[in-house]
């Protein structure tokens, strides 16, 4: 299998860089388990196959992020050289734990990487490839208990 490289353009102090990088690597580990590919982080000054960044609004790629929960992330790929950019909406709330307030960064990253690897959106709302982000709200947890 092929080894892909990735890096995080992390020029904002809004997010814990170490936890963000761990979430991204865990998302890659998920796909490494199901594919014959491997993924490794490279230094910020190195060239990477996958480039991650937190941006807001119109960031010059024709696909604005809306800061209102409807469009929380998206990908852009180029052919020559093959490079992937995965953008997260910097105006959204992001979390590193499931069930916390905000979008779970690892789950959203698994979805975006899956899209780049060729997995299509799934009609099953429980699938990681569902086009709609699913989260269990605290009130739902309380009603179950």
Give pLDDT, residue 51.
94
Give pLDDT, residue 58.
66
Give pLDDT, residue 106.
93
Q: What range defines the domain where residue 61 resides?
A: 3-144
Q: Could you tell me how many helices (H) and strands (E) the chain has, helices first?
A: 3, 7
CATH at 10 = 3.40.390.10
- Tally of CA atoms within 13 A in the half-sphere of 43 that contains its CB: 2
Cα Rg of the chain, angstroms: 15
Q: Maximum Cα–Cα distance for the chain, whole Å?
A: 53
Give pLDDT, residue 142.
47
Please list, residue by residue across 104-113, b when 16 or more beta carbons sit within 10 angstroms of its beta carbon and e when fewer do: bbbbbbbbbb
Give pLDDT, residue 49.
95
Residue 32 phi, psi dihedral angles, 5° rounding: -60, -30
The span from the CA of 10 to the CA of 116, in Å, is 21
Quote the number of domains for the chain: 1
- Please say if 112 is a catalytic residue: yes
Give pLDDT, residue 126.
79
Per-residue pLDDT of the chain (145 residues; tens, 9 = 90+): 899 999 998 666 566 788 999 999 999 999 999 999 999 999 989 999 999 998 876 666 666 666 665 677 877 887 767 789 898 888 888 898 877 788 899 999 999 999 888 888 888 877 888 887 665 444 444 444 4
Q: Which of 41, 92, 112, 140 is catalytic?
A: 112
């Amino acid at each position: 299998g092929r080894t892909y490289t990735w890096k995080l353009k992390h020029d904002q102090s809004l997010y814990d860089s170490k936890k963000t990088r761990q979430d991204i690597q865990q998302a890659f580990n998920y796909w490494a388990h199901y594919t014959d590919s491997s993924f490794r982080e490279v230094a910020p000054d190195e060239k990477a196959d996958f480039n991650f960044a937190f941006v807001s609004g119109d960031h010059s790629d024709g696909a604005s992020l809306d800061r209102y929960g409807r469009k929380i992330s998206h990908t852009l790929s180029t052919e020559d050289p093959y490079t992937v950019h995965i953008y997260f909406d910097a105006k959204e709330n992001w979390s590193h734990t499931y069930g916390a307030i905000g979008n779970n960064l690892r789950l959203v990253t698994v979805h975006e990487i899956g899209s780049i690897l060729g997995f299509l959106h799934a009609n099953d709302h429980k699938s990681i490839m569902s086009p709609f982000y699913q989260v269990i709200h605290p009130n739902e947890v309380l009603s179950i208990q």
